[in-house]
Amino acid sequence: MYDLIIIGGGPAGYNASERAAHAGMKTLVIEEKALGGVCLNEGCIPTKTLLYSAKIYDYAKHSADYGVNFQGASIDHAKVVERKEKVIKMLVGGVGAKLKKAGVDVVYGKAMIKSKSKDGFTVEADGKEYNSTKLLICTGSDPALPPIDGLKDSLANGFAMTNRETLALKEIPQTLVVVGGGVIGLEMASYFNSVGSKIYVLEMLDHIAGPTEREISDMLKKEYEKKGINFILGAKVTSIKDGKVSYELDGKALSIEADKALVSIGRRARTQGIGLENIGVITERGAIVTDDYCRTSVPGVWAAGDVNGKVMLAHTGYKEGEVAVANMLGGKDRVNYSSIPSVIYTNPEVASVGETTESAKAKGLDVEIKTVTLKLSGRYIAENEGGNGILKILIDKKHRNVVGLHMIGNYASEIIYGAAIMVETQMRVTDIQKLVFPHPTVSEVIREAMF
Ligand code: NAI
For the CA of 247, the nearest atom of ligand 1:
19
Is the Cβ atom of 181 under 6 angstroms away from ligand 1?
yes
pTM of the model: 0.97
Q: How confident is the model at residue 71 (pLDDT cuts 50, 70, 90)?
A: confident
Q: How far apart are CA 377 and CA 272, in angstroms?
A: 50
Q: How far apart are CA 37 and CA 220, in angstroms?
A: 29
For the CA of 236, the nearest atom of ligand 1:
19
Expressed in angstroms and rounded, the spacing between residue 420 Cα and the centre of ligand 1 is 22
* 67-96 average pLDDT score: 96
Is the Cβ atom of 204 under 6 angstroms away from ligand 1?
yes
Is the Cβ atom of 418 under 6 angstroms away from ligand 1?
no
The predicted-structure confidence for 288-332, as pLDDT tens digits, reads as follows 999 999 999 999 999 999 999 999 999 999 999 999 999 999 999
* 138-163 average pLDDT score: 97
| SS3 state of residue 35 | coil
145: closest CA among 164, 167, 169? 164
Is the Cβ atom of 185 under 6 angstroms away from ligand 1?
yes
Q: Say what the pLDDT of residue 175 is.
A: 98
How remote is the C-alpha of 267 from its chain's centroid?
A: 11
Is the Cβ atom of 205 under 6 angstroms away from ligand 1?
yes
Expressed in angstroms and rounded, the spacing between residue 163 Cα and the centre of ligand 1 is 11
For the CA of 264, the nearest atom of ligand 1:
26
Query: 123-127 — which CB contacts under 8 Å span 24+ positions?
Result: 123/5, 123/7, 123/30, 123/275, 125/30
Is the Cβ atom of 45 under 6 angstroms away from ligand 1?
no
| SS3 state of residue 297 | coil
Catalytic residue among 62, 77, 406, 439: 439
For residues 15 and 144, the answer to whether their CB atoms sit within 8 Å is no
Tell me: cis bond preceding 348? Omega within 30 of 0 counts: yes
For the CA of 314, the nearest atom of ligand 1:
40
For the CA atoms of the chain, what is the radius of gyration? 23
Dihedral sign computed on CA atoms, order 15, 16, 17, 19: positive
Start-to-end CA distance of the chain, whole Å, equals: 59
The residue contributing the CA closest to ligand 1 atom 18 is: 237
Using most ligand atoms within 8 A of CB, pick from 265, 311, 318 the residue to mutate for ligand 1: 265
* Residue 128: φ, ψ to 5°: -120, 160
The predicted-structure confidence for 157-206, as pLDDT tens digits, reads as follows 999 999 999 999 999 999 999 999 999 999 999 999 999 999 999 999 99
The predicted-structure confidence for 236-285, as pLDDT tens digits, reads as follows 999 999 999 999 999 999 999 999 999 999 999 999 999 999 999 999 99
Is the Cβ atom of 343 under 6 angstroms away from ligand 1?
yes
Expressed in angstroms and rounded, the spacing between residue 417 Cα and the centre of ligand 1 is 22
Burial 12-40 (b: 16+ CB within 10 A, else e): bbbbbbbbbbeeebbbbbbbbebbbbbbb
Is the Cβ atom of 416 under 6 angstroms away from ligand 1?
no
The residue contributing the CA closest to ligand 1 atom 44 is: 184
The residue contributing the CA closest to ligand 1 atom 17 is: 204
Q: Say what the pLDDT of residue 241 is.
A: 97
Angle between helices 77-102 and 44-61 (to 10 degrees): 140
Q: Is 439 a catalytic residue?
A: yes
Expressed in angstroms and rounded, the spacing between residue 303 Cα and the centre of ligand 1 is 22
The residue contributing the CA closest to ligand 1 atom 26 is: 266
* Cα separations in angstroms, 150 against 69, 199, 349, 428: 47, 21, 34, 54
The residue contributing the CA closest to ligand 1 atom 8 is: 182
Is the Cβ atom of 202 under 6 angstroms away from ligand 1?
yes
Q: Say what the pLDDT of residue 239 is.
A: 98
Mean pLDDT, the chain, rounded, equals 97
* Cα separations in angstroms, 417 against 86, 176, 278, 322: 28, 33, 41, 18
Q: Say what the pLDDT of residue 91 is.
A: 98
Tell me: cis bond preceding 440? Omega within 30 of 0 counts: yes
| SS3 state of residue 247 | strand
* 327-356 average pLDDT score: 97
Q: Say what the pLDDT of residue 377 is.
A: 97
* 38-63 average pLDDT score: 96
Q: Say what the pLDDT of residue 58 is.
A: 95
